Amino acid sequence: MKLDEAKTTMQKTVEATQRAFNTIRTGRANASLLDKVLVDYYGSPTGLKSLANITTPDASTILIQPYDRSSLNIVEKAISLSDVGLTPSNDGSVIRLNIPPLTSDRRKELVKIAAKYAEEGRVGIRNIRRDALDSIRKQEKNAEISEDEARDQQDKLQKLTNTYTARIDELLAEKEKDISTV
């Protein structure tokens, strides 16, 4: 594994962690809360964003308007069964999700969930570092690179790891601030 590959993979890990953070409710309406909702549409699981127009008319409401009106009930059912934790209300043409204000206990739980996602991201980055280090040591053992080159690449790899780990920590701090803000 080259340093460029490690950098690209670490960047993807940070982006995946950011997407995971987006699915955590912060007390404000956000269409990305519904990213993980899958609807059983004609026998195949389909992302809600593919089936409906999702808008946030105000800070406490999400409106879901299916492109196919006949799918309104299955979309409502999928939201009810998902882990979003919101109860949909169907008025015949759109589905409304009202975002209740978060209690302080729920905010603490959400901060813990965000911390768990951040730790998963950090572990992913450390695993990428481990794989790259193994690759560097293997190259050194096979005399493809010198000992100095290997040490130089290891130093660069550690700096890369520190940079991406710090980025995850920044994202976590932002998310904790969002969750904690009333």
Residue at a domain's end among 47, 65, 98 = 98
Dump pLDDT digits (tens) for 118-143: 999 999 999 999 999 999 999 888 88
Tell me what pLDDT residue 31 has: 77
Residue 74: pLDDT band (50, 70, 90) is confident
**Do 132 and 175 belong together in one domain?**
yes
13 and 41 in a common domain: no
Specify whether 112 is located in the same domain as 173: yes
pLDDT of residue 1: 64
User: pLDDT-derived band of residue 11, with 50, 70 and 90 as boundaries?
Assistant: very high
Task: State the CATH number of the domain containing residue 92.
Answer: 3.30.1360.40
Using a 10 angstrom Cβ sphere, with 0-12 exposed, 13-18 middle and 19 or more buried, the burial of residue 29 is buried
What's the confidence (pLDDT) of residue 173? 94
Q: Verify that 107 and 148 share a domain, yes or no.
A: yes
Predicted confidence at residue 17, as pLDDT, reads 92
Quick one: 174 and 108 in the same domain? Answer: yes
pLDDT at 42: 84
Number of domains in the chain: 2
Q: Largest Cα–Cα distance of the chain, in whole Å?
A: 70
Answer yes or no: do 126 and 148 share one domain.
yes
Buried b (16+ CB within 10 A) or exposed e, 135-171: bbeebbeeeebeeeebeebbeebeebbeebbebbeeb
Q: Are residues 114 and 89 in the same domain?
A: no
Residues 37 and 88: their CA atoms lie apart, in Å, by: 13
Q: Same domain, yes or no, for 56 and 7?
A: no
pLDDT value of position 182: 63
CB 36 within 8 A of CB 25: no
Domain with 122 in it: 3-22+103-180
Task: Lowest mean pLDDT of 13-17, 102-106, 146-150, name the range.
Answer: 102-106
**Do 55 and 14 have their domain in common?**
no
Residue with tokens 């130089």: 152
- Structure token pair of residue 128: 């990428």
- Do 82 and 136 belong to one domain? no
Segment 138-158 mean pLDDT: 89
Structure tokens at 40: 């059983």
Same domain (yes/no): 111, 176: yes
Looking at the fold, whether 91 and 158 belong to one and the same domain comes out as no
Q: What is the CATH number of the domain that holds 142?
A: 1.10.132.20
Higher pLDDT, 116 or 180: 116
Q: What is the mean pLDDT of the chain?
A: 87
